[in-house]
Structure 1
Amino acid sequence: MKKIVQISVAPHVAFDLEKLKREVSNKFKLKGDFGFQIIKRSIDARRKPVKYALAIEVVQNEELTDRSMEFTYHPVDESAKSVVIIGAGPAGLFAGLEAIERGLKPIIFERGKDVKERRKDLARITKEMIVDPNSNYCFGEGGAGTYSDGKLYTRSKKKGSVRKVLQQLVHFGADEDILVDAHPHIGTNKLPKLIENIRKEILRCGGAIHFQSKLTDLLIKEGRVIGVVINGEREVSCSKVVLATGHSARDIFYLLNDKGLTLEFKPFALGVRVEHSQALIDRIQYGKADRGQYLPPASYSLVHNTKDRGVYSFCMCPGGIIAPCATDQKEVVTNGWSPSKRNNPYSNSGIVTEVRWEDIPDFHKYGALAGLEFQKSVEKACWKAAGETQKVPAQRLVDFVENRSSKDLPKTSYFPGLVSVNLNDVLPAFVSNNLREGFVKFNDKMRGYLTNEAVIHGTESRTSSPVRIPRNEGLEHPEVRGLYPCGEGAGYAGGIVSAAIDGQNVIQAIELSLHSKQSES
């Protein structure tokens, strides 16, 4: 007998296997000995006291399903066909692993540095307010997710296996809890080692990874890729290029646009990052500030629909830190991250609203790059408002809603520092108007959320790519054979897991293309 049962239990029971077994036995009237394991765990905070909702596999006289999976990667043959991959974020790295699985040789070019060297440049942003345009929170080994804490939750419906990606992450060092938790998370402190392990496996199997190697040109002949140019001087001949450059690689959009390739405007979201004390969010969500040892720092997910669009929370970080994520010296960009224990005293989240084509008529002259130029203009306005530094323009939450400047600001987790600014004067009116309405409505759902002890930081602007690079059914750009736009930067993913899946899908498409050519010949 093998079956899946659903049960809600007190937090202390969820983490005590003997007590949990008794609860399962009593609730489902199980007789005799049986085995069980949790296959999904989520917090049910709708009623107080808070409970854990568990999906449990129960077996009698059978083996439990093996949640984890061992992956064996074999070195590729010297004669293997190569695939050039631009970018070593999740799309690029998982494309590299998939290539090895399918007997192809991945050659990865990453504009930034490896995870260890990258840390030094992150420290320079925080301490000296100096931004390296090629090594920062967005660029470098592992991509933007490496130092944005590794949230793995996805609503992606794209063809591909979420389970496989999570199992691969466990194989390379992530905790097995990510296979169980409804909102899995690795933690910025643990991700770099995991990324290193993936890199070492790709290299062991005959792949290549080149750091500080920026794509500066695509070589195209008669509608086909014939090579790439790295750092303005090194030409690499190739017929298959996976473009996995991330949502902040603006130079890639300009490069493709200058070459006359079709690009598309893509709606995206923009707003602010709000920070509360974690104790307040715990009290609102759990009914008490002292959550005990079994409940994690509370999170939230909020949505409000105004008359014409949504306002919603994005990349919520319990026990987290707000980070300076600019990719250019003359802009201010925020994001958030949490360590694996989520044990910082602050809670932060992006609060954003959608930006549509009709919202930005002054930028229509830029065509498909209208959203990108609008995004840049807001980031630069925040930089100017913050005194042309990497400090952040900030405002107490109630002051923002009531459209008045804050006389002072409390300490927040944003280390470069704050400058008191009325963000209603900095953000575009349609953005600030929707955010103000959203914050008021959020307080109806979470009483106490709208407080002047909370601080908003501007701006949260890199939620997704403002440009889509089109592709056909074979996942190639419709105008250039052999060019495979991929992941968040191309507009086909939103987060680590969906980007990884897209990287895998693109390699599968490349393999299919190669086999089709062989059969034709």
Structure 2
Amino acid sequence: MQKEIEITIAPEHIANEQIILQNLSRALKVDVSTIKHHEVLKRSIDARSRKVIYRLQVRAYINEFPNKEIAAITYQKLTDAKTVIIVGAGPAGLFAALQCIENGLKPIVIERGKDVKQRRRDLAAINKQGLVNTESNYCYGEGGAGTYSDGKLYTRSNKRGDINKVLQIFVQHGADQDILIDARPHIGTNKLPHIITAIRETIQNAGGEVLFDSKLTDFIIESGKIKGVIINQEQELLSNSVILATGHSARDIYELLHQKNILIEAKPFALGVRIEHPQQIIDSAQYHCDIRSEFLPPAYYSMVEQVKTRGVFSFCMCPGGIIAPCATGQDEIVVNGWSPSKRNNPFANSGTVVQVTLDDVQGYDPLRMLNFQSEIEQLAFEAGGGNLVAPAQRMIDFVENRLSVDLPKNSYLPGTKSVMLDNILPSFVASSLKAALPLFGKKMKGYYTNEAILVGVESRTSSPVRIPRDRETYQHPQINGLYPCAEGAGYAGGIVSAAIDGVNCANAILNN
């Protein structure tokens, strides 16, 4: 007999199997000896009361043993298979490629950037010298933006596809099995490159191709049908199915589509700053303690507030994390955050952003939101003075309209410069943040403090452009065989939701 039940465990006992069994025995009202096996299905921390606990959703096997099932997917070697071109080797592109192989289709993945190993050198140049390689950076390259910006796997995309399958594939390629049960699964930037490499090798071993330094520069279209793409302005690659999974920062792709009169649309996004606190402040507030227990991970938070008609919310929170420079072009500042798997850095950072609506940027140009985003990033670069030095301000100084005399120690490696962020952020963004931050402080003790630093700008929260597609076929309404996919097309946000969208596009090709 199998039973699923929720039990609570003190943090210091979370690894003690005997105590977990005893709790199960009491909750199920059965003798411990009858519980032949148990498995944790979900694990989360409940810090709502002063006594912090773990909540475990557990499946108990009473007087029986589980049937061991092999969850790993076997990818068969392809022979004489129809080809599918996949533009972009981020999570959407890689998972689309895996699904193509499952469906008997040969994926050819083209990626403008480098493989994960070669990307490291370009990231080092960004952090140490302020030099941006416009084809290889935190956003471009194998694995996409997620590879070197954290690997958070939390998603609400329950209705879009099989989340568990995505997580299982990550585990199959080297991720820790904890991601299958944690409420907020997280791989860690230090581990993701090896996992991404393993996924690429699976694709190649099955007969698929992954081409690096291969930038899409044009589409081959005849009579409203895709026939292939042109790489690096010279090489033709032919297929009548193209998945466009280029991520939210490939501005040249949006411009190319617009130049070719292929329908795209302006899309709302969010804009703000990345806020960093000492991790100890967040731990103390969330766990109601002076010093965090060794049995608890660095604390997480999520904030949201409505300021008049505009939403202000935290985004991509990184406990024990680092603020990273994520520009993809020259003379722009873009910041994001990431954490290693242990989340053991002394700071906690989170994007804190304000909704930007289509009414905020007047006009009919489908690129107007993108241009608006770009203008703010250039202002931030100018304010920082170059070399990717980021404009920054202490939190209370920002709210009270004071230039910070100095800035607290922080994790942003290229450096920060004290400025008035009002001179960079649009007035409606600045005023909304100023109204929301004290309210966040009322929700979480210690949050509203001048020990926190605001670093600008957090602007790549989502794509400012949508590439439309048919709900049933996933194809562009004008171009048969072109499949806009995931974040870059405006249909997903985050690693797992992007991966699911890649799977859905691959399945749509098979169905069509």
Q: What TM-score bracket applies, with the shorter chain setting the length?
A: over 0.9
Aligned twin of 1:437: 435
- Identical columns (%): 55
Query: Are 2:501 and 1:502 aligned?
Result: yes
After TM superposition, list the pairs within 5 Å mapping 1:68-467 onto structure 2: 69-77=71-79, 79-361=80-362, 364=363, 367-467=365-465
Aligned twin of 2:511: 512
Counterpart amino acid of 2:444? M
Aligned twin of 1:24: 24
Instruction: Tell me, in whole angstroms, the C-alpha distance in 2 between the residues paired with 1:19 and 1:397.
Output: 44
Number of corresponding residues: 509
| TM-score of the two chains, using structure 2 as the length reference | 0.98
Report if aligned partners of 1:57, 1:64 keep a CA contact under 8 Å in 2. Answer: no
Report if aligned partners of 1:113, 1:141 keep a CA contact under 8 Å in 2. Answer: yes
Counterpart amino acid of 1:21? L
Report if aligned partners of 1:465, 1:489 keep a CA contact under 8 Å in 2. Answer: yes
Report if aligned partners of 1:475, 1:506 keep a CA contact under 8 Å in 2. Answer: yes
Report if aligned partners of 1:400, 1:422 keep a CA contact under 8 Å in 2. Answer: yes
Deviates further, 333-342 or 54-63: 54-63
Deviation at 1:62, TM superposition (A): 3.0
Aligned twin of 2:10: 10
Report if aligned partners of 1:15, 1:294 keep a CA contact under 8 Å in 2. Answer: no
Q: Unpaired segments of 5 or more residues in structure 2?
A: none
- Could you say what secondary structure the match of 1:368 adopts? coil
| Equivalent of 2:43 in 37, 41, 58 | 41
Instruction: Tell me, in whole angstroms, the C-alpha distance in 2 between the residues paired with 1:356 and 1:214.
Output: 31
- Could you say what secondary structure the match of 2:298 adopts? coil
- Could you say what secondary structure the match of 1:375 adopts? helix
Deviates further, 55-64 or 127-136: 55-64
Report if aligned partners of 1:396, 1:456 keep a CA contact under 8 Å in 2. Answer: yes
- Could you say what secondary structure the match of 1:284 adopts? helix
Report if aligned partners of 2:129, 2:387 keep a CA contact under 8 Å in 1. Answer: no
Aligned twin of 1:56: 58
Tell me how large the CA RMSD over aligned residues is. Answer: 1.1
Report if aligned partners of 2:304, 2:313 keep a CA contact under 8 Å in 1. Answer: yes
Aligned twin of 1:475: 474
Deviation at 1:280, TM superposition (A): 0.8
Instruction: Tell me, in whole angstroms, the C-alpha distance in 2 between the residues paired with 1:435 and 1:271.
Output: 8
Deviation at 1:381, TM superposition (A): 0.6
Deviation at 1:175, TM superposition (A): 0.2
Deviation at 1:183, TM superposition (A): 0.1
- Could you say what secondary structure the match of 1:413 adopts? coil
Aligned twin of 1:488: 487
| TM-score of the two chains, using structure 1 as the length reference | 0.96
Counterpart amino acid of 2:446? G
Deviation at 1:67, TM superposition (A): 8.5
Residues 207 and 176 (structure 1), Cα distance of their counterparts in 2 relative to 1, 3 Å cut: same
Q: Deviations over 1:125-144 (max 9, x none)?
A: 11111101110000000000
Q: Unpaired segments of 5 or more residues in structure 1?
A: 514-521
Q: Deviations over 1:308-336 (max 9, x none)?
A: 02111100000000000000121000000
Deviation at 1:290, TM superposition (A): 2.1
Instruction: Tell me, in whole angstroms, the C-alpha distance in 2 between the residues paired with 1:443 and 1:67.
Output: 48
- Could you say what secondary structure the match of 2:398 adopts? helix
Counterpart amino acid of 1:73? Y
Report if aligned partners of 2:274, 2:350 keep a CA contact under 8 Å in 1. Answer: yes
Moved over 6 A (4+): none
Counterpart amino acid of 1:342? R
Instruction: Tell me, in whole angstroms, the C-alpha distance in 2 between the residues paired with 1:83 and 1:461.
Output: 32
Report if aligned partners of 1:68, 1:176 keep a CA contact under 8 Å in 2. Answer: no
Residues 68 and 121 (structure 1), Cα distance of their counterparts in 2 relative to 1, 3 Å cut: farther
Report if aligned partners of 1:146, 1:191 keep a CA contact under 8 Å in 2. Answer: yes
Report if aligned partners of 2:8, 2:55 keep a CA contact under 8 Å in 1. Answer: yes
Counterpart amino acid of 1:381? L
Deviation at 1:436, TM superposition (A): 1.1
Q: Deviations over 1:278-320 (max 9, x none)?
A: 1111001111242222100001011111110211110000000
Report if aligned partners of 2:392, 2:453 keep a CA contact under 8 Å in 1. Answer: yes
- Could you say what secondary structure the match of 2:119 adopts? helix
Report if aligned partners of 2:486, 2:492 keep a CA contact under 8 Å in 1. Answer: yes
Deviation at 1:59, TM superposition (A): 1.3
Residues 58 and 337 (structure 1), Cα distance of their counterparts in 2 relative to 1, 3 Å cut: same
Report if aligned partners of 1:303, 1:312 keep a CA contact under 8 Å in 2. Answer: yes
Deviates further, 19-28 or 103-112: 19-28
